[in-house]
Structure 1
Amino acid sequence: MNLALFDFDGTITSRETFGAFIRFAAPRRRRVLGAPFFAPLVAGYRLGLLSGSEIRARVVHFGFRGLHADELGRAGQRFAEEILPATVRPTALARIRWHRSQGDKVLVVSGALDVYLSPWCKQHGLDLICSRLHVEKGLLSGRFLGSQCVNAEKSRRVRELCVPEHFPIIYAYGDTKEDLDMLAMAHRKFYRWQEIT
């Protein structure tokens, strides 16, 4: 049995889903009030002045703090059913199916949120490592539970779940610099669906 590690946003999907989920699930009033505040931050990210992790942390705090976790969970389920299918690359699903047909262990390792990734992965019979939201007394605190699952955290969590040395071949698929640590673990690395050495 080999190990196959797949990033989600931009690898399994054709576009970013984190922002789409914020627009789908955050209360309308917060979206309207937050748009002018977050526009300069997004520009800073595109210019390389802010990290994606910083922006995601601020967006989660602004968009979700104080909401009922159950409500967000229901929104995540709907998002997984109604929005994600149109974003998933057929070639990615075909590659996942190929790995499963070989008997490989397939892990989705993503900085995206568990509230919508969990139902999607469950539907496809895939194991999941991802970013999770912190909940206190049934309400979202506006923080992540632990670290966001990006950069070195991806490879750390993979090692926490399984022993890489037990797999003859490790495959890894990613599309941004946040995936590079995970790709470094692999014998066969695919960056934006091109194999690299």
Structure 2
Amino acid sequence: MKRIYAFDFDGTLTTKDTLIEFIRFSKGSVRLFLGFLLFSPLLILMKLHLYPNWKAKQRVFSWFFRGVSLDSFNRLCVDFAQQNKQLLRPAGIKKLQQVVRDKDSIVLIISASVDNWVCPFFDEIDKKIQVLGTQIEVKGGYLTGRFITKNCYGQEKVCRLKALYPQRESYELIAFGDSRGDKELLAHADKGYYKPFRETE
């Protein structure tokens, strides 16, 4: 029986939320602060579950990146990953490197983050790793600021996995997560690990 290893990214394999760190990297700390100050009422409503998570995230993303060319955005994503390896948890990467060596395994990163900046973190580890992230809309070579997939959070993580691998009885699912957004994925797994790679906690 095949084994599917499904890893959350932000907080599980990283020490920080990479959306915030990517904005800081690409726009600077001052613009990051101003943007989050502008959207603070929305973000508070989101935390209170009075405004959809995906819609708040899309509005923030759009404010920072609408109109940026896809080529420029992708260059930023690669540079961000190359210059921020310290965000990765060593124990998580060690586990990832271990499971990709298993010829019977399928390795997924299932993340609410935009896959354009998630993928480059794993290019040097193994091309076998598949990233299922939130995908962005591009028209005429430029970002519209909108998402073309649902925010890959909560039940959507399970839906994206089942869309690729619908025959649930044909594989063992081992999942790793750290937050409310991973609850459904961990419950769906044969083995679910919550906050597994935090050596100092």
TM-score normalised by structure 2 residue count: 0.86
- Cα RMSD of the aligned pairs, angstroms, is 2.2
Structure 1: gaps (5+ residues)? none
| Counterpart-to-counterpart distance in 1, 2:122 and 2:111 | 11
| Counterpart-to-counterpart distance in 2, 1:64 and 1:44 | 23
| Counterpart-to-counterpart distance in 1, 2:108 and 2:13 | 12
Aligned to 2:78: 77
| Counterpart-to-counterpart distance in 2, 1:16 and 1:156 | 23
Aligned to 1:89: 89
Equivalent position amino acid for 2:139 in 1: E
Is the contact between residue 97 and residue 125 of structure 2 (CA under 8 Å) also seen in structure 1? no
Aligned to 1:166: 170
Q: After superposition, what is the alpha-carbon deviation per residue over 1:146-176, rounded to whole angstroms, capped at 9, x for unaligned?
A: 2111111111111111233221x21000111
Aligned to 2:118: 117
* 1:11 Cα offset (Å): 0.2
Percent of residue pairs bearing the same amino acid type: 29
| Counterpart-to-counterpart distance in 2, 1:193 and 1:44 | 30
Is the contact between residue 107 and residue 130 of structure 2 (CA under 8 Å) also seen in structure 1? yes
Structure 2: gaps (5+ residues)? none
Q: 1:65 to 1:30 in 2, by over 3 A?
A: farther
Q: 1:134 to 1:27 in 2, by over 3 A?
A: farther
* 1:46 Cα offset (Å): 4.7
Aligned to 1:55: 56
Once structures 1 and 2 are overlaid, which stretch shifts more, 18-27 or 107-116? 18-27
| Counterpart-to-counterpart distance in 2, 1:18 and 1:148 | 13
Aligned to 1:178: 181
| Counterpart-to-counterpart distance in 2, 1:164 and 1:79 | 36
Q: 1:15 to 1:51 in 2, by over 3 A?
A: farther
Once structures 1 and 2 are overlaid, which stretch shifts more, 114-123 or 21-30? 21-30
Equivalent position amino acid for 2:190 in 1: H
TM-score normalised by structure 1 residue count: 0.87
SS at match of 2:123: helix
SS at match of 2:124: helix
| Counterpart-to-counterpart distance in 1, 2:124 and 2:117 | 11
Aligned to 2:134: 131
| Counterpart-to-counterpart distance in 2, 1:17 and 1:48 | 22
Number of residue pairs matched by the alignment: 192
Equivalent position amino acid for 2:102 in 1: Q
Is the contact between residue 25 and residue 72 of structure 1 (CA under 8 Å) also seen in structure 2? no
| Counterpart-to-counterpart distance in 2, 1:27 and 1:135 | 24
SS at match of 2:152: coil
